[in-house]
């Protein structure tokens, strides 16, 4: 069966009328052939195709059981990407009405043969605890039937025992040492390249759920949010998804500790350096984070202690020394408008924003002008954007001999040429913003 045909078959299964078990059972032979085929194709293709099967397991236990067997076989495969597919499959399977007993039964084979699995502790503990952790009552962990099963998985594997001893849920079983996050990740990533491939896209958030405890709540929040943002950036998510994640972060911001605020700032700076206009979540995350940092009497940054206000100054200095791509100038202006900055810093920011004006298209000028005017806290500073905007419109609106200007200066080479009517509209909008500040 060709890859295309397998994908088409899976999509047909998904499009069936699923009002009764009979509708699925009539196609069971085809479904079994498809699931067998998943073990023969590259793991990444199998991940895509299996997504069409999941809706069927809600109404067909036969489909669910056969899929579980297929995923078990995948996890015992000698091919690393097929094993990755198996891990991915079980993760997604948790989203479709599996009880805790069913999860334990599904992974029981792992307890006997841990050597065949990349990280049996991670693949079992993360999946089971993440399922249990959806319950509001965290005390349920102590009575979970999964715990005895997980202990049987790791009791004869030193590596797995070492990893388990770092987790919050079983510290009472093995020891009461403080959780060493770095050590846990080091052990995890040492396993093989597949470990990194599996963890990087979506497992980091689940891993921190495993580590969740009273001392780890803020770390769990930060890791999950940053992981979500990275995933959204990678898949070029829509604005609604990004907005939802940012709002989740802002709601949990008061829970973050000082070191996690530093991590958040570093993450945002990394996004700004990427210079991507399609992913600008940093403009909403950075201001409240910097405000929180500024209020701290002391903060440790890369082993150096300093006042929160001093670190805030370093953040602003770092941002103003970065190269600003024209695509992110307007979001940057919006971000600086919300940041806590001094009069001197405001002047430096304003100067750099005005220097970016020649790179901005006329259609974007009204939006940038609004941000510039909003940044101005005194009449003296307001003169800077007014004079620069006046020069901009003199060149593109009033000066007809554009070719002569182009030969004398290269400052405005990148701006687009618009009709006289359009330029008048742009200028009138700028004047409207100026009149309303």
Using one digit for the tens of pLDDT, what is the confidence trace for 146-198? 555 555 555 555 555 555 554 444 444 444 444 454 554 454 445 434 344 43
Angle at 46 between CA 42 and CA 48, to 5 degrees: 125
Report the distance separating Cα 58 and Cα 44, nearest Å: 24
Structure confidence at residue 351 (pLDDT): 92
Structure confidence at residue 83 (pLDDT): 75
Structure confidence at residue 79 (pLDDT): 78
Is-contact 233 279, C-beta < 8 A?
yes
Q: Which residues pair with 301 in a beta bridge?
A: 304
Which single residue is written with the structure tokens 């304003």? 350
Is-contact 426 363, C-beta < 8 A?
yes
Which single residue is written with the structure tokens 């940093």? 282
Evaluate the CA torsion angle 226, 227, 232, 235 in order and state its sign. positive
- Give CA 145 to chain center in angstroms: 32
Angle at 167 between CA 108 and CA 122, to 5 degrees: 40
The list of the chain residues with pLDDT below 70 reads 1-26, 58-59, 88, 91-92, 94-255, 275-279, 397-419
Among 225, 2, 198, which Cα is nearest to 82's?
Answer: 198
Burial class (CB in 10 A: 0-12, 13-18, 19+), 178: exposed
Report the distance separating Cα 38 and Cα 70, nearest Å: 8
Helix, coil or strand: residue 2: coil
pTM exceeds 0.85 for this model:
no
Report the distance separating Cα 97 and Cα 91, nearest Å: 12
Among 216, 209, 218, which Cα is nearest to 122's?
Answer: 209
Report the distance separating Cα 328 and Cα 269, nearest Å: 13
Is-contact 114 158, C-beta < 8 A?
no
Is-contact 2 34, C-beta < 8 A?
no
Among 330, 401, 410, which Cα is nearest to 370's?
Answer: 330
């Amino acid at each position: 069966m060709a890859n295309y045909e397998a994908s088409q078959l899976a999509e047909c299964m998904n499009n069936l009328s699923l009002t009764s078990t009979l509708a699925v059972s009539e196609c069971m032979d085809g479904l079994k052939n498809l699931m067998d085929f998943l073990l023969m194709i590259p793991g990444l293709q199998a991940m895509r195709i299996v997504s069409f099967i999941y809706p069927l397991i809600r109404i067909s236990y036969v489909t669910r059981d056969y899929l579980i067997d297929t995923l078990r076989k995948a996890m015992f495969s000698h091919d690393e990407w097929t094993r990755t597919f198996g891990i991915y499959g079980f993760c997604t399977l948790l989203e479709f009405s599996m009880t805790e007993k069913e999860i334990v039964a599904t992974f029981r084979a792992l307890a006997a043969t841990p050597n065949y699995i990349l990280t049996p502790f991670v693949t079992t503990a993360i999946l089971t605890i993440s399922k249990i952790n959806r319950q509001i009552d965290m005390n349920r962990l102590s009575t979970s039937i999964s715990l005895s099963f997980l202990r049987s998985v790791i009791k004869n594997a030193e590596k797995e025992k070492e990893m388990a001893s770092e987790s919050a849920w079983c510290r009472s079983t093995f020891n009461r040492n403080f959780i060493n996050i770095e050590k846990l990740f080091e052990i995890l990533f040492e396993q093989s390249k597949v470990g990194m491939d599996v963890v990087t896209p979506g497992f980091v958030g689940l891993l921190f759920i495993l580590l969740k405890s009273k001392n780890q709540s803020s770390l769990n929040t930060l890791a999950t949010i940053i992981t979500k943002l990275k995933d959204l950036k990678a898949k070029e998510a829509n604005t609604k998804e990004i907005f939802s994640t940012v709002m989740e972060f802002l709601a949990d911001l008061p829970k973050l500790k000082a070191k996690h605020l530093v991590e958040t700032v570093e993450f945002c700076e990394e996004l700004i350096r990427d210079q991507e206009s399609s992913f600008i979540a940093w403009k909403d995350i950075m201001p409240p984070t910097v405000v929180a940092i500024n209020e701290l009497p002391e903060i440790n940054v890369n082993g150096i202690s300093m006042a929160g206000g001093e670190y805030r100054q370093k953040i602003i200095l770092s941002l103003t020394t970065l190269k600003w791509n024209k695509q992110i100038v307007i979001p940057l202006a919006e971000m600086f408008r919300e940041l806590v900055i001094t009069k001197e810093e405001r002047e430096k920011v304003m100067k750099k924003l005005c220097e970016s004006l020649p790179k901005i298209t006329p259609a974007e000028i009204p939006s940038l002008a609004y941000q510039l005017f909003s940044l101005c806290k005194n009449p003296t500073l307001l003169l800077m954007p007014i004079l620069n905007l006046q020069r901009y419109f003199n060149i593109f609106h009033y000066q007809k001999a554009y070719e002569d200007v182009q030969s004398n200066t290269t400052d405005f080479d990148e701006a687009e040429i618009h009709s006289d009517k359009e330029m008048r509209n742009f200028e009138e909008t700028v004047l409207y913003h100026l009149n309303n500040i």
